[in-house]
Amino acid sequence: MTREDILLKLEEIFREVFDDETIDLTEEITPDDIEDWDSIGNVYLTVEIEEELHISLGDDMNKISNVKDIIDLIINRLEAING
């Protein structure tokens, strides 16, 4: 998956989790930009990403500060799986 593919997939996930079809996701978006992206929202996001991409994100999702960090984390996990 390329960064762009991941960003597109994340946009889909964000729209579903936050029930908002108007979200246009960019790497710069932070939790402050989306109303429901607090600690609870982050749990829903984590579960959804893990389920959709078949990876485990664990506690590292608590350390992210924007969408870019999530993409980096996902790439890291995918690389670990694919060698």
Applying CB under 8 A, which residues contact another protein?
A: 16, 19, 36, 39-41, 43-44, 47, 51
Q: CB 13 → another protein: shortest distance, Å?
A: 10
**Of 52, 40, 43, residue with least CA distance to 77:** 52
In angstroms, what is the minimal distance from the CB of 9 to another protein? 14
2 or 39: CB nearest another protein: 39
Q: Which residue stretches of the chain are H helix?
A: 3-17, 39-53, 67-82
Q: Give me 14's structure tokens.
A: 């964000």
Q: Which is nearer to another protein, 4 or 19 (CB)?
A: 19
